[in-house]
Amino acid sequence: MLSKFIKQVVFLFMTGFGTLGNIYVSVNYMFSCFRGPEKKPVHFILIHLAFTNIIILLAKGLPKTMADFALRNFLDDIGCKILIYLSRVARGVSICTSGLLTVVQAIIISPRASGWRRLRPQSAWHILPFFSFFWILNALIAINLIHSITGVRLNLSQLNNKDDYCYFMLESKTTKWIVLPFMVLRDAVFQGAMGGASGYMVLLLHKHHQHVLYLQNSKLLYRTPPELRAAQSVLLLMLCFVFFYWTDCAVSLFLSLSLAEKSLMPNVQNFLALGYATFSPFVLIHRDGLLPECLHAQWEKLRNYLLFFCSMSVKKFSVLQYCG
């Protein structure tokens, strides 16, 4: 009973606070784009990543939370197909977007003499075609789920496993060997790019750190450029991604090889599947904290308007009192 209550609280927290955190981040960078004269490509990518995380949490976390609280099953066969398909596509888009984020940030902080500097996006709008490509690519890779998911309980011999309200039917080996290589190739390409770009950023940040130590020894003042602070945030975000992704892979492999039916491991796997979408916005909020600054600026504007209105009202009242 206690374990069930803990599971309910954990998944409710992850779905609710994760969704709010991603909305927070998306609003954060939308304000940054509207306020600044130049729209930064990294901000567009982070907004897209937050949007993708919201889809993952609502499509996968919300049904899971409702099932844990024993709420009525509102999903029919079509609803199951849509939600599971959306969550799988959004997960793939999240992997691709994270890889793009790391590569673009590495290009931005590369030295001017570097050849990578030529690949720097001239405008934030040049990033948008990548988003369309990611959605189309992952929609095609996950197309087999439309035929292998049902909301109707079938015979045990026809089922592979279940995802609370929805059930996965057994797929043919031909379908598996067609889809699996594309998934592995996608993950290998984008995570390879992510790893290479992350290593390059670590090297540049190390050189910057050595430069800062030299300036400090020379008693010269030096402020870290915002691009390097953003690179540190992206690296921390990628560490979060690597932890949840590879731990999820390890648990999935263990479950596929294990014969035990009753175990806490499926719940651990669901936790890991939602982990990156839940905690990644809070990594950015902790590192960047742009939204409080934006709200503070808006509050200062509102306060100035109120003070101006009050001063004008006082002057008008003084004039009327003098005339009277």
Tell me, what's the pLDDT at 322? 47
- What's the predicted TM-score (pTM) here? 0.81
Q: Classify strands 166-169 and 159-163 as parallel, antiparallel or unpaired.
A: antiparallel
**Gap between the Cα atoms of 43 and 24, Å rounded:** 13
Summarised one tens digit per residue, pLDDT across range 161-171 is 655 667 777 76
Tell me, what's the pLDDT at 179? 83
Is pLDDT larger for residue 100 or for residue 150?
100
Mean pLDDT of 190-206: 89
Tell me, what's the pLDDT at 319? 44
Q: Running DSSP on this structure, what letter comes out for residue 110?
A: S
CB atoms within 10 A of CB 182: 15
At residue 11, the 3 state secondary structure works out as: helix
Per the listing, tokens 């306020």 go with: 35
Least confident of 99-108, 152-161, 290-299: 290-299
Sheet strands (E) in the chain:
149-150, 159-163, 166-169
Q: Is the pLDDT of residue 126 over 80?
A: yes
The residue type of 203 is: L
**Gap between the Cα atoms of 241 and 226, Å rounded:** 23
CA proximity to 233, closest of 293, 282, 292, 295: 282
Q: Is the pLDDT of residue 106 over 70?
A: yes
Per the listing, tokens 């954990």 go with: 10
Q: Is the pLDDT of residue 151 over 70?
A: no
Is pLDDT larger for residue 262 or for residue 194?
194
Phi, psi of 76 (to 5 degrees): -95, -170
Query: What distances in angstroms separate CA 284 from CA 24, 206, 232, 280, 307, one per listed residue?
Result: 10, 21, 10, 7, 35
Mean pLDDT of 284-312: 59
Under a CB-based contact definition with an 8 Å cutoff, are residues 93 and 142 in contact?
no
At residue 168, the 3 state secondary structure works out as: strand
Q: Which are the contacts of 276, defined by CB distance < 8 A and separation ≥ 6?
A: 53, 94, 240, 241, 244, 245
Least confident of 38-52, 276-290, 308-322: 308-322
Instruction: Spell out the domains of the chain, with CATH numbers in brackets.
Output: 10-305 (1.20.1070.10)
CB atoms within 10 A of CB 101: 24
Mean pLDDT of 58-77: 77
Tell me, what's the pLDDT at 315? 52
The residues with which 149 forms a beta bridge, in sequence order, are 168
User: For the chain, what is the largest distance between any 2 Cα atoms, rounded to a whole number of angstroms?
Assistant: 94
Tell me, what's the pLDDT at 320? 45
Q: Is the pLDDT of residue 275 over 70?
A: yes
If you average pLDDT over every residue of the chain, what do you get? 78
**Gap between the Cα atoms of 271 and 7, Å rounded:** 10
CB atoms within 10 A of CB 196: 14
| Identity of the highest mean pLDDT range in 55-59, 76-80, 145-149 | 55-59
**Gap between the Cα atoms of 51 and 169, Å rounded:** 29
Six token digits for residue 48: 């897209």
Per the listing, tokens 């934006």 go with: 294
**Gap between the Cα atoms of 278 and 146, Å rounded:** 26
Six token digits for residue 187: 């993950």
Provide, rounded to the nearest whole percent, the portion of the chain with pLDDT above 70.
Answer: 72
Q: Is the pLDDT of residue 317 over 50?
A: no
Altogether, the residues listed in the chain come to a count of 324
